[in-house]
């Protein structure tokens, strides 16, 4: 808990045997609240188009920032095409609303995770975790397990 990946994007997520999904490339990992996404020369670190609004504004990354990135990546997967620029959350929510074959729980979850306000999104993350029965597995086992292997 408290570890941020800070670069969630398709090339950093791999489908393993038995349909297990793993996050890889921990080169930008930091403790929550530790730093922004700019390097020593002021350049943005990570993948700008997947970054949450607060991160793009130069504010500190939070756990909810990684969840935003994962939601953007998931929407790309569902649409079958990558975004070519920074994602407009309102545009994505509009597209999600038109995906009538998408299970409503998944659509609702993605809309919650694409919230622009990080404080509201942090609460939404907890709601989404509850919707899927997620908890310590997401907070500790997945992240810490990958860091130690």
Indicate which residues carry an active-site annotation.
Answer: 7
Residues 68/52, Cβ–Cβ less than 8 Å: yes
Taking a C-beta distance cutoff of 8 angstroms, is the pair 46, 7 a contact? yes
| Helices and strands, number each (H, E), in the chain | 7, 4
The residue among 80, 87, 142 whose CA lies nearest residue 115 is 87
Nearest by Cα to 31 from 6, 55, 11: 6
- Please, which residues bridge with residue 31 across strands? 3
End-to-end alpha-carbon separation of the chain, Å? 17
């Amino acid at each position: 808990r408290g570890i941020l990946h800070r670069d969630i994007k398709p090339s950093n997520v791999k489908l393993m045997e038995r349909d297990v999904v793993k996050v890889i490339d921990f080169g930008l990992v930091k403790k929550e609240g530790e730093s922004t996404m700019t390097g020593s020369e002021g350049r943005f670190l990570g993948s700008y188009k997947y970054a949450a609004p607060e991160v793009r504004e130069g504010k500190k990354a939070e756990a909810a920032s990684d969840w935003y990135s994962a939601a953007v990546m998931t929407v790309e997967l569902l649409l079958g095409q990558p975004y070519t620029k920074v994602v407009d959350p309102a545009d994505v929510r509009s597209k999600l609303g038109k995906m009538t074959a998408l299970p409503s729980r998944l659509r609702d979850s993605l809309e919650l995770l694409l919230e622009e306000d990080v404080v509201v999104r942090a609460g939404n993350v907890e709601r989404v975790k509850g919707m899927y029965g997620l908890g310590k597995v997401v907070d500790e086992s997945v992240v810490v397990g990958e860091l130690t292997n």
